[in-house]
Amino acid sequence: MSWEIIFVCALLIGAVVSFVLEKLPVDLTAMAVFGLLLVVSVLTHSAYLPTIEDYLDVFSNPAPLTIAAMFILSTALDKCGAIEVVAQSLGKLAGLGYRPFLFILLLVVAIMSAFINNTAVVVVLLPVVLSLARKTDQAASKFLIPLSYASIFGGCCTAIGTSTNILVSSILQGHDLEPLSMFELSSIGVPLLCGGILYLVFFGKARLPVRDTLTSILSEEERKEYITEAFVKPGSSLIGTSVSESSFFKKRGVRLLEVVRGGVGLQANIRDIVLREGDRLILACRPSAIMEAHAEEGVHFSEEMAMELEQIAAHEGAIVEGVLEPASGIIGQTIGEVNFRQRFRMVLLAVHRRGSNLREKLETVRLEFGDTLLMMGSDAAIENLRSSDDIVLLDRAHLPAKNMRQKTPIVLFVLFGIIFSVSCNIMPIVAAALTGATILFLTGCVRPKDGYRAIEWRILVLIYGMLALGLAMETSGMSSAIARFLVDSSELLVAAQWRPYFILACIYICTGALTEVLSNNATVVLMAPISIGLAVTLGVDPRPFIIATCIASSASFSTPIGYQTNTYVYGVGGYRFSDFFKIGLPLNLYYGLVCVFLIPVIWKF
């Protein structure tokens, strides 16, 4: 075994460990892999590793551009209110009962996810489903995992249904093979979709848990908070001290929302503000802390509030839950770095992440994708937050800030145009998607600023890094060595005529296991070259193996971290890690068995 294979293997293992441990963001890990590959290529000039030019050629891969264009299309559908119309129609069906309503919900979500970004569908429908769960008198946890799974079902049915399918199509082209046609995957995806929906409708309710949302962690005392205002009196001991130094703001049950000076709210980090005479303090107090706060010398409460404090009413303020947008600009920053209170005029009460509630030292918490936030603020602050591109509030359906319903026909025309042109081989996916995105910009369906913001750049960076690693695996001979090892092992276990079936099952199992702990995009980029190498070694058509890799990389049901939509509903639904395993493992087994038996029938070896 050459040192090049050992190096690439070590790099692959290191990347996988980093992805699993999540000490570094996945995009940063991918970038580090890319950089290390470039450095080793420059220093060694090895003939068994790609050159600098070879590595840079991954940027000519059409898949990331296609994925970026599809993000733009998805945000255009959201901005024009097309998904909102579907959500409103679903609301009229809530009275049908749990199973009939769940069946229609899953079918609608699957159809939508077959043509637009899965995550966008789930993000927009999350508040809708939470609202409808209350109408049907069911726990939201009975709907949210099925919502995520339905988006996966639909994504496996078309070439543009998910980013992994677009990547697979590009990888096929890179090996001089026919790319995926628009509905090629439907032959296997539709039967899988039907079985998956029936499983969730008839067996899901018993297997899905009853979980509480984030607001349930609050005691009755904590749910009753009052917004009041106070002024720093002349001669007060607070004058000249910073908020972080003052004992007044360390009292349990007293929260400082804002400091207003000269009629203007100060924008600086609230903990660093040095108080002055006459500063107006906007406070949130629990009932038990009100009298203690009033006893503080040097602080004057407004007379009307001192005489009769009123609990926050629905029209004045509330406690709300929100979840970070996938493309949120505050992901990766700490609460302190974001300056959360000043930026959003909201108090952050808790963060729910992967089954646990973070409530201590929130200023140092670094926000991650899928975090659910519990916030408290005035009515005005909550309404302002609704128009934010960083946080989706879960109390009611998201409404576009600007009515663009008149643009809906154009967006739908572009979507159908992409589907038609790719289905009829008029143009490749990348050309159709980029043309569609350009039309959306030119017609004002989405502003370029909003379109670029909607692109999840972290995913694109991850893809480029993994494409470089996949190229190194092939050039070094690592993919061929793995393929040869698996084929030689199969010769000892099964007869020659059953060997392709055995290898197909191995590919599916390995890909499915990897995608439960890694990103689906990283998994498909790493496994596709191995799948093609196995087919070449066996002397059979690689397409069945690629199709198996494609489906398995998306079929992440047993963990909440393998697929973005699973991660998204994890915190919102208050789920535990084991909940996904309990409901998802039978789906994994079903998908695996159907693929192993049906793929060779549709795509011959």
pLDDT at 194: 95
CA 331, 334, 335, 339 torsion: positive or negative? Answer: negative
Phi, psi angles (nearest 5°) of residue 234: -60, 135
pLDDT at 97: 81
Q: Is the pLDDT of residue 313 over 50?
A: no
pLDDT at 345: 78
pLDDT at 306: 38
Per-residue pLDDT, averaged over 236-265, amounts to 76
Residue that has been written with the tokens 């369906």 in this structure: 445
Task: Please name the amino acid found at residue 97.
Answer: G
pTM to 2 decimal places: 0.81
Per-residue pLDDT, averaged over 251-269, amounts to 73
Lowest-confidence segment of 6-15, 114-123, 137-146, 215-224 by average pLDDT:
215-224
Q: Is the pLDDT of residue 599 over 90?
A: yes
Q: Which helix (H) or strand (E) holds 318?
A: strand 317-324
Please report which confidence band the pLDDT of residue 314 belongs to, taking 50, 70 and 90 as the band edges: very low
Hey, which residues does 375 pair with through a beta bridge? 320, 348
Q: How far is CA 103 from CA 109, 161, 318, in A?
A: 10, 20, 34
Structural domains of the chain, ranges and CATH numbers in brackets:
225-307 (3.30.70.1450), 317-393 (3.30.70.1450)
The CA-CA-CA angle for residues 189, 194, 198, to 5°, reads 145
- Over residues 169-192, the pLDDT tens digits come to 999 988 888 999 999 999 999 999
Paired tokens of 418: 């992409």
Lowest-confidence segment of 8-17, 295-304, 366-375, 447-456 by average pLDDT:
295-304
- Over residues 374-428, the pLDDT tens digits come to 887 777 778 888 877 788 888 766 555 556 778 888 988 999 999 999 988 899 9
Q: Which helix (H) or strand (E) holds 487?
A: helix 478-493
DSSP 59-99: GG-HHHHHHHHHHHHHHHHHHTTHHHHHHHHHHTTGGG-HH
Hey, which residues does 393 pair with through a beta bridge? 322
pLDDT at 261: 84
Q: Is the pLDDT of residue 572 over 60?
A: yes
Hey, which residues does 19 pair with through a beta bridge? none
Quote the CA–CA distance of 72 and 542 in Å, as a whole number.
Answer: 32
Q: Is the pLDDT of residue 503 over 60?
A: yes
Per-residue pLDDT, averaged over 271-280, amounts to 84
For 477-481, which contacts have Cβ atoms below 8 Å and span 24 or more sequence positions? Answer: 477/2, 477/4, 477/5, 477/48, 478/5, 478/8, 478/9, 478/12, 479/529, 479/530, 479/532, 479/533, 480/533, 480/537, 481/1, 481/5
Q: At what angle do helices 98-113 and 141-155 cross, to 10 degrees?
A: 30
Per-residue pLDDT, averaged over 496-508, amounts to 89
- Whether the CB-CB separation of 122 and 81 falls below 8 Å is answered with no
Helix (H/G/I), strand (E/B), else coil: 158: coil
pLDDT at 494: 81
Q: Which one is predicted more confidently, 452 or 375?
A: 452
Lowest-confidence segment of 227-236, 270-279, 397-406 by average pLDDT:
397-406
Per-residue pLDDT, averaged over 77-104, amounts to 78
Please report which confidence band the pLDDT of residue 366 belongs to, taking 50, 70 and 90 as the band edges: confident
pLDDT at 324: 85
pLDDT at 355: 63
Quote the CA–CA distance of 116 and 160 in Å, as a whole number.
Answer: 7
Please report which confidence band the pLDDT of residue 322 belongs to, taking 50, 70 and 90 as the band edges: confident
pLDDT at 33: 93
Q: Is the pLDDT of residue 475 over 80?
A: yes
Quote the CA–CA distance of 404 and 370 in Å, as a whole number.
Answer: 28
pLDDT at 305: 40
Per-residue pLDDT, averaged over 329-335, amounts to 82
**How much is the mean pLDDT over the chain?**
83
* Residues counted in the chain: 605
Q: Is the pLDDT of residue 37 over 90?
A: yes
CA-wise closest residue to 594 among 188, 152, 159, 157: 188
pLDDT at 36: 94
CA-wise closest residue to 327 among 133, 503, 100, 72: 72
pLDDT at 230: 78
Q: Is the pLDDT of residue 290 over 60?
A: no
Please report which confidence band the pLDDT of residue 554 belongs to, taking 50, 70 and 90 as the band edges: very high
Hey, which residues does 312 pair with through a beta bridge? none
Q: Which one is predicted more confidently, 353 or 439?
A: 439
The CA-CA-CA angle for residues 492, 493, 496, to 5°, reads 80
pLDDT at 167: 92
- Sequence-ordered list of residues with C-beta below 8 angstroms from that of 42, at least 6 positions apart, any chain: 52
Lowest-confidence segment of 111-115, 192-196, 280-284 by average pLDDT:
280-284
